[in-house]
Structure 1
Amino acid sequence: MTRPPSAPPLPAAFLSTPIAHRALHDRAAGRPENSRVAIAAAVAAGYGIEIDVQMSADGRAMVFHDDALDRLTEATGPLRARDADTLGAITLRDGAEGIPTLREVLSLVAGRVPLLIEVKDQDGALGPRTGDLERAVAGDLAGYAGPVAVMSFNPHAVRHLAQAAPDLPRGLTTCAFDQADWDLPADRCDALRRIAAYDEVGASFVSHQHGDLSAPRVAQLKSQGAAVLCWTIRSPTEETAARRVADNVTFEGYTPAPVPA
């Protein structure tokens, strides 16, 4: 398969503006993760925003983290079994809104802060059964004016993003890939841990698990010009440690200060 060209670099705003994980969510305050109200709060505070997308039964990109509806709503079963209108009418737990589409979120953010979109694995095992959600995301982003980037744990998904939207900054979501935490063969975990597909998919950044930022491969990629983001920082102490390696942090549960230019 032909290797895609390298992606554009991340816009500078992704390196200077802390990124709110699943938006500026706080269930106690009525702001569920990936909700419109949490997104609006992040925009108002001037933070970047990380969101997740899954695919509805009718092929729409929906802003939602899990495969299943159970944890985040009163509904049950896989999100992909329901169409976008039905999902939009399902209220998020501890909130008053339904599940938004990516198009709705793009209209809400309107380019005012950096938007980092994680395309969730649709294969089930980080394998090659991808493409439909990636094309839906690319279609929604066509003509979007503002700092935006896409990423996925699944290198196949990133390759499809490269094909569907070659002009978008794209990266790999990465971690230690401990086999105890992933239902994958050992050799597959090893390849993912080595971030072996970085060049193959034409990535320009990684978003790496903060507890594994000392991995030699992260340092190697950074020395070669890759931007390094990290997830998920939950305290100023973790942020200080992460910034020794990472160019920026994805955070939740506290409010970091902007990084001086």
Structure 2
Amino acid sequence: MTLAYFRNTGPDGRQRPLGFSHRGFSPAGAENSLSAFAEAARLGFGYLEIDVRSTRDGVVMVFHDETLDRVTDARGPISARTRAELAGVRIRGGEPIPTLEEVLLRWPEMRLNIDIKDEGSVKPFADLINRLRAHDRVLVASFSDLRRLRVLRLLEAPTASSAGMAVNGLIRLGGHLGLTGPLCRAARVDAVQVPLTYRGMPVVTPGYVRRCRKAGLQVHVWTINEPDAMERLLDQGVDGLVSDRADQLAAVLDRRGSWPQSRSTQSDPPAGSD
């Protein structure tokens, strides 16, 4: 049975490819910001790929890096500060760092592919999803399969999840032996999210896509920014694409009759509202 998270059907009832806007869409570089998410929603996206880390007092923030240095006006680890201490920190463009709860509440129809970046987020993330009953709206991802599994054990309802580094490696090694399905059931995996190549070796091949699909896995490919590559991968039958160029991905999917993804723009509040 397909989890509700993955359902993206058009007027004809047929499943459409998933388009993930990578950290939202912000040509000015304000990644993982409310304005970047609002722009992705305006373009018609129903899926966002985001990252989370937690504060010293256990608030889950939407933020990629371990430290604040690269994209904010502050320095040091985000985990060393409380939520109150982060209130005055601004990301590029002058916005505060959003909490995951803010994003979930502001766009109630948006589905989130969430990369859990640190151990401190495991319990507060699960507590938040359980409290908001947002299980159908999130996909749990992490490079660490152990961290991902710890989150899944704490969640109170079935929740989509994608393989981490270890399970992805096992799928690559065991796929030719027909072990993809058993491996993924044991690892509680519903999707693989992979690059086109890894250390110079091709990952996404027609055979790989066929084996994953036969095992009931969705195949999502990151980070694809060129329209020709998007078209080629969609022709191969991949289920989703993650892109920094949300505008280009929206245009490609629109030309293929698979746009917009959702009515998420209807939930976007007017500019300046709380």
TM-score using structure 1 length: 0.77
Cross-structure match for 1:228: 219
Paired letter, 2:6: P
Cross-structure match for 1:159: 149
Return the match for 2:37 from 30, 36, 39: 39
Residues in 2 aligned to 1:154 and 1:137: alpha-carbon distance in whole angstroms: 15
Q: Deviations for 1:31-55, whole angstroms, at most 9, x for unmatched residues?
A: 6110000111111221121110011
The Cα shift of 1:118 comes to 1.3
Return the match for 1:11 from 1, 6, 9: 6
Alpha carbons of structure 1 residues 139 and 260: separation in structure 2 relative to 1, 3 Å = farther
Residues in 1 aligned to 2:5 and 2:218: alpha-carbon distance in whole angstroms: 7
Secondary structure at 2:163 match in 1: strand
Cross-structure match for 1:20: 21
Aligned positions of 1:98-109 closer than 5 A: 98-109=96-107
Alpha carbons of structure 1 residues 75 and 191: separation in structure 2 relative to 1, 3 Å = farther
Residues in 1 aligned to 2:2 and 2:150: alpha-carbon distance in whole angstroms: 13
Alpha carbons of structure 1 residues 221 and 194: separation in structure 2 relative to 1, 3 Å = same
Alpha carbons of structure 1 residues 145 and 138: separation in structure 2 relative to 1, 3 Å = closer
Secondary structure at 2:67 match in 1: coil
Cross-structure match for 1:208: 194
Return the match for 1:116 from 103, 113, 118: 113
Greater mean alpha carbon deviation, residues 214-223 or residues 242-251: 214-223
Contact 2:140 2:160 in 1 (8 A): yes
Residues in 2 aligned to 1:79 and 1:7: alpha-carbon distance in whole angstroms: 36
User: Rg: which structure is higher?
Assistant: 2
Contact 2:135 2:159 in 1 (8 A): no
Secondary structure at 1:228 match in 2: strand
Contact 2:136 2:160 in 1 (8 A): no
Paired letter, 1:89: G
More helix by share: 2
Q: Deviations for 1:42-92, whole angstroms, at most 9, x for unmatched residues?
A: 112211211100111111111001111111112111111111222232100
- Give the share of equivalent positions with the same residue, in percent: 26
Contact 1:23 1:42 in 2 (8 A): yes
Return the match for 1:149 from 139, 157, 161: 139
Residues in 2 aligned to 1:110 and 1:232: alpha-carbon distance in whole angstroms: 25
Q: What is the root-mean-square deviation in Å for CA atoms of aligned residues?
A: 2.9
The Cα shift of 1:7 comes to 9.6
Greater mean alpha carbon deviation, residues 160-169 or residues 229-238: 160-169
Contact 2:115 2:140 in 1 (8 A): yes
Residues in 1 aligned to 2:100 and 2:148: alpha-carbon distance in whole angstroms: 18
Residues in 2 aligned to 1:16 and 1:189: alpha-carbon distance in whole angstroms: 21
TM-score using structure 2 length: 0.73
Q: Deviations for 1:215-239, whole angstroms, at most 9, x for unmatched residues?
A: 9655433221101111111110121
Contact 1:7 1:204 in 2 (8 A): no
> Structure 2: where are the runs of 5+ without partners?
9-14, 175-179, 198-202, 259-274
> Structure 1: where are the runs of 5+ without partners?
1-5, 123-129, 178-187
Cross-structure match for 2:124: 136
Cross-structure match for 1:255: 248
Residues in 1 aligned to 2:233 and 2:168: alpha-carbon distance in whole angstroms: 23
Contact 1:89 1:99 in 2 (8 A): no
Q: How many residues align?
A: 230
Residues in 1 aligned to 2:209 and 2:50: alpha-carbon distance in whole angstroms: 23
